[in-house]
Amino acid sequence: MPETKPVLMQGNEACAEGAISAGVRFYAGYPITPSTEIAERMAARLPGLGGVFIQMEDEIASMAAVIGASIGGKRTLTATSGPGFSLKQENIGYAVMAEIPCVIVNVQRMGPSTGVPTAPSQGDVMQARWGTHGDHPIIVFSPASVYETYYLTIAAVNLSQKLRQPVILLLDEVIGHMREKVFIPEDSKLMVEKASDKVPADYKPYDEKGLTPLVPFGFGHYYHVTGLFHDQYGFPTGDPLQVERAQDRIHAKLDKYRDEVVLTNYIGHKEPRVVIVTYGCTVRSARAVIKKAYWQNRQPVGLLSLQTLWPFPAKEIETLAKQADVILVPEMNMGQILGEVERHVKGEAEVIPINRYDGEMISPDQISEKMGRWLS
């Protein structure tokens, strides 16, 4: 194990450090509160590592630059917040379709529109899933601490490379801006999973497996990249059979690697009556509740924190629904992941929302008050 010593680090800084540990050497972005520290850190660190930092003219161009750099063989990152995330959507769809790896960070702030720039929110859960048009697969992670931000960024970069799939890191202002004591490995080279360098003579960048690494442009292999449906060599096609197969293939990748993609964490009672299901900074409030209710008072309660929001952890929710009577879903929006939980609970448990959308965190008291009603 590489040596570690505790440091005080901000969530946004941990995201940048995680990206660098995972081999990201290209960043293009346009600064926006509350994500700006990621750009600042990348700007300070990348030139010294032989990487490239570009402040682009806007978020649309940033996303395009990231896609271009990725085809050029770099591991890439861009970071933004709500208004900028809206602008990136078109090109995120392009990256999904052309199967170009990249990681997009959205440090959520209060919306819609410019909203309250410095206030936290979890209002972009559905936008992260369906922001770009058309049926498309997407991976979305949501960390609940500074350290989780570090390692989920690494996971995001590696998964995006492995599956040739854009990955969205959905932070919130609380996690992005807070500073915590963390242990970060000093020698970070271990974190990089390297894609295979072996390329067959008849190179098909869009073959059946869909996991063949893209050969960087300019390295001797010609292929076509397009947002149109395409054949195995990347050339456009409108053939219904090929279109359907391509759709199935890009979706099947995520199912096949579900164990690596869908990350959750359960703490609490083995046979819980009341379970909290939440994500991001709200996990912190929920953990404070569980600490008291379960670890101190041994009440039949539990907490399922979702590090992966999309693909939605359906199996985990179905299992919980069979055990618990009540599932509480606190989130800092008007109810987004709630609908998804209800869909998979299938009426087997009572699903109770706890929503807050005034720009403040949901407090532990708010959750335990609701929980108490179902325990008595």
Partner 1 sequence: MANRQEVLLTGAGGQGLILASIMLAEAAVSDNKNVVQSQSYGPEARGGASMAGVIIDIDVIEYPKVVTPTVLLCMNQASYNKYLPLIKPGCIVIVDSTFVKGPFQEEYKVQVYPITSTAKEELKREVVANMLALGVVNAAAGLVARDIFREVIFKLAPKGSGELNQQAFDLGYSLYEHGSEQGAGKSAQNSQ
Residues near partner 1 (CB under 8 A) are: 6-8, 33, 117-118, 174, 177-181, 281, 284-285, 287-288, 291, 361, 363-364
Would you say 253 or 284 has its CB closer to partner 1?
284
Closest CA to 24 of 69, 65, 87, 62: 69
- Nearer CB in complex with partner 1: 144/326: 144
Question: What count of Cα atoms within 13 Å lies in the side-chain half-sphere of residue 316?
Answer: 24
Q: For partner 1, give the closer residue by CB, 215 or 267.
A: 267
- Of the two residues 255 and 369, which places its CB atom closer to partner 1 in the complex? 369
How far apart are the C-alpha atoms of 353 and 301, rounded to whole Å?
16
Q: Please name the amino acid found at residue 14.
A: A
Tokens representing 325?
A: 């009577």
DSSP, res 361: P
> Which of 145, 147, 150 minimizes the C-alpha distance to 182?
147
Kindly state the smallest distance separating residue 366's Cβ from partner 1, in Å: 11
Closer CB to partner 1, 107 or 345, in the complex: 107
Which residue, 119 or 199, has its beta carbon nearer to partner 1?
A: 119
Residue 270, C-beta contacts closer than 8 angstroms, at least 6 positions apart: none
Return the exposure string of 259-279: e unless at least 16 CB atoms fall within 10 Å of the residue's CB, then b. Answer: eebbbbebbbbeebbbbbbbb
Comparison of 141 and 147: residue with beta carbon closer to partner 1? 147
Q: What's the min distance (Å) between Cβ of 175 and partner 1? A: 9
Q: Which is nearer to partner 1, 8 or 190 (CB)?
A: 8
Gap between the Cα atoms of 235 and 197, Å rounded: 23
Smallest gap from residue 112 Cβ to partner 1 (A): 17
Q: What are the C-alpha distances in Å from 309 to residues 161, 218, 238?
A: 19, 36, 32
Using CA atoms, how far residue 279 sits from 63, 144, 171, 356, in Å, is: 26, 7, 10, 14
Strands 116-120 and 103-110: antiparallel
The distance of closest approach from Cβ of residue 230 to partner 1 in the complex, given in angstroms and rounded to an integer, is 44
CB of residue 365 to partner 1, shortest distance in Å: 8
Q: Angle at CA 331, nearest 5°, toward 326 and 337?
A: 75
Q: Smallest gap, in angstroms, from Cβ of residue 174 to partner 1?
A: 7
Distance CA 137, CA 247 (A): 9
Q: How far is the CB of 276 from partner 1 (least distance, A)?
A: 13
Nearer to partner 1, 118 or 265 (CB): 118
Contact yes or no for 283/329 (Cβ under 8 A): no
Cis ω before 112 (30° cut-off from 0): yes
**C-beta closer to partner 1: residue 35 or 285:** 285
Q: How far is the CB of 85 from partner 1 (least distance, A)?
A: 18
In this structure, which amino acid lies at residue 1?
A: M
C-beta of 22: minimal distance to partner 1 in Å?
25
Minimum CB–partner distance for residue 61 and partner 1 (Å): 24
Is the Cα dihedral 173, 179, 180, 184 positive or negative? positive
Q: Which two tokens stand for residue 32?
A: 């926006």
